Amino acid sequence: MTITILGSGNVATHLGEAFHKAGHQILQVYSRNKANANALASVLSAVAIDSLGEVTNQADLYLIAVPDQAIQGVAERLPSAIKGVVVHCSGATHSAILGHFPHYGVLYPVQSLRKNIPTSLDKVPFGIEGNDLVSTDLLTQLMQPLTLQSFLCSSEQRLALHIAAVFANNFSNVLFQIAFDVLQEQNLSFDLLKPIVLETAQNVQKKSPKEVQTGPAIRGDIETIKKHLQFLTKNPNWLKIYQQLTQEITRNKS
């Protein structure tokens, strides 16, 4: 398969390297920054370009791997003669943004990818959406050798998945930071929490989060909750988060 990659960041790098290793021909790598395009293109044996006017119309797949707010601008400036499948990689952007192409879709990795951190894509779930059988079949065939967890996913489902990932990943991480700061104020190390963090992550691999919920809220331990709230009065933001999450746990315990 011949592929043009539009972008040179995290997702572009991981997918580009995976496609190249799988034997696909990467024709071009586009970036507004020619140095960035050159850096990735050199790894993928591709041609580096910094103008969308230079994009070939002969590729089988056009992978738009740019920030969400840039997808539409890139798509609108691609050659109108493109017959290949044009896809973006966003979790929160509807596939219809590419609707002016005959064949289009989405290839969404449910993972935070960083180009300087090696990641085995065979364990990363990929949501696939195509506007027709041509697009769906091409994306399915492309991903089957690369991951054990590719699945068909509509734009609405993908948005829900993206929201769920924000809750599970981004929000949990900011809670880790709050925990880090709470401990630091008392000259304690965050390392003390790493075993319980790991245990929680392991537990939800086997059971639903509701089944493994622990803590004073699920036990109805009002006295302990009061002590926690009193301790947190010096930081109103943390106090508000604690109260909100306690209410959510209490609401869901029945």
Q: Do domains 2-153 and 158-252 have the same CATH topology?
A: no
Give the integer Cα–Cα distance in Å for 188 and 220: 28
Does the domain formed by 2-153 have CATH 3.20.20.60? no
pLDDT digits (tens, 9 = 90+) for 44-63: 999 999 999 999 999 999 99
Strands 104-109 and 47-49: unpaired
Give the integer Cα–Cα distance in Å for 83 and 55: 13
- Is residue 254 predicted with pLDDT exceeding 70? no
- Per the rule left: phi > 0, alpha: psi between -120 and 50, beta: everything else, 187 is left
pLDDT digits (tens, 9 = 90+) for 75-93: 999 998 999 999 999 999 9
H runs (alpha helix) in 22-154 = 34-44, 68-76, 133-143
CB 72 within 8 A of CB 95: no
- The 8-class DSSP code of residue 39 comes to H
* Nearest alpha-carbon partner for 19 in 37, 4, 35: 4
Question: How many CB atoms sit inside 10 A of residue 47's CB?
Answer: 16
Q: Which CATH superfamily is domain 158-252 in?
A: ProC-like, C-terminal domain (1.10.1040.20)
Give the integer Cα–Cα distance in Å for 157 and 127: 9
* Nearest alpha-carbon partner for 87 in 108, 67, 115: 108
Domain boundaries in the chain? 2-153, 158-252
pLDDT digits (tens, 9 = 90+) for 111-163: 999 988 888 899 899 999 999 999 999 999 999 999 989 999 999 999 999 99
Give the integer Cα–Cα distance in Å for 122 and 132: 25
The structure tokens listed for 229 are: 């709230």
User: Is the whole-model pTM more than 0.85?
Assistant: yes
pLDDT digits (tens, 9 = 90+) for 209-245: 999 999 999 999 999 999 999 999 999 999 999 999 9
- Enumerate the β-bridge partners of residue 108: 127
